[in-house]
Structure 1
Amino acid sequence: MKQIAAGLRHAAQAAAAAMMAVMFLTFLLQIFIRYSARLEWLPEYLPFLEPTLFGWTLELCLVMWLWLVFWGNAFVVRENDHVRFDILYSRVNRKLRRIFVIVFGLCIAIGLAVSIEPTWSKFYILRLKKTATLSSLFGDWIRMRDLYVVYMLFLVAVSARYFWTVWQAYRHGLPEMPEQDGRRQSE
């Protein structure tokens, strides 16, 4: 089971790296087209470098950024990689920490899970809308809902992760906290 989880984690990281690579290469293409657009003779000899053909690059960069943020937070970023304000949490005893994890984890998980259906209902209209410029690259089949569906993956994955964290805290207690300021916080 741990091998499957590690494989899925590596696949999610590879997908995020691919998104970053696509975004970076598209950005480099934008720079090249922007500076080559001043060379009026270039499109005459190389028609595929006509600057008006590259309006899609901005939208693709934005889509890759959107996917990278939500994909990364849903599947790549680990819980201990998040910025936390745990001044109170780290100063209370273990029993109260467990209650914090269960109560606030349930609040987050339920809040995200409850927002899935209304969000999907709002996405329904996006199935009709086409992208502004990506159709020149991918064709006419891509719709705005396809671009934003990553948010639904984010809602499902993060709510499931918090439900799992709550279950683990309820069932097995909390894992040991790492040492902090030279002393253990296990009280």
Structure 2
Amino acid sequence: MPSSYRSLGGWLYRRAENVLAAMLVAMFAAFLVQIVFRYMLNLPIGWANEISVVLWIWLVLWGAAFVVREEEEIRFDLFYAAARPRVRRIMFLVAALSLLALYTISFPAVLDYVMFMKVEKTAYLKIRMDWLFSIYIVFVIAIIARYLWLSWQAMFGKAPQEFDPIKAGSGV
């Protein structure tokens, strides 16, 4: 892969992390506002809770789509880690093709549902539900693209990396 693509990918990855961090800060600020209004001012407000919930949905799906790398995913990999590279490659391809099939088959119905939700709005901020759930469409497209790329690499490149418990960490 040319270094210009790699540097562009790194830049885009850092911007996705920045968006994720901004959503986390905004969610935490809304959470603090909610606590202050409810417990200090004895004036419960619903919009702060709604912002927290909306940002949580976006935070999880944005992070899963653009920030969390394949090796950082949580999984039960007792057999996968013990397998030889060729078997590990086959196991990965079976799992990846299953995910691709499920996401691809469900995509038209999900798209229809998200588009249908334009008739609903959130209770306090009146955010259209199709805008709120549009992140799921982005998530599905990103996951399909990721697993197509990873499947291509597994078929024609090197086998997926063996898990090394010595190098396990939080991704930092």
**TM-score for both structures, normalised by structure 2:** 0.87
In structure 2, what residue type is equivalent to 1:155? V
Match among 146, 149, 152 for residue 137 of structure 2: 152
In structure 1, what residue type is equivalent to 2:121? K
Q: Name the counterpart of 1:72.
A: 63
The 1:63–1:180 alpha-carbon spacing in structure 2 relative to 1, beyond 3 Å, is: closer
Instruction: Give the stretch that moved more between structures: 77-86 or 61-70.
Output: 77-86
Identity in percent: 36
Match among 15, 19, 22 for residue 15 of structure 1: 19
Unaligned runs of 5+ in 2: 167-172
When the two chains are superposed, the root-mean-square deviation of aligned CA atoms in Å is 1.7
Unaligned runs of 5+ in 1: 39-50, 136-141, 182-187
Instruction: Tell me the matched-pair count.
Output: 162
In structure 2, what residue type is equivalent to 1:128? V
Structure whose alpha-carbon radius of gyration is higher: 1
**TM-score for both structures, normalised by structure 1:** 0.80
Structure 1 stretches of at least 4 aligned residues deviating more than 4 Å after TM superposition: 178-181
- After superposition, what is the alpha-carbon deviation per residue over 1:73-109, rounded to whole angstroms, capped at 9, x for unaligned? 1111111111221111122222111111112111112
The 1:29–1:179 alpha-carbon spacing in structure 2 relative to 1, beyond 3 Å, is: closer
User: Hey, what's the Cα distance between the residues in 1 that align with 2:155 and 2:17?
Assistant: 30
User: Hey, what's the Cα distance between the residues in 2 that align with 1:124 and 1:65?
Assistant: 21
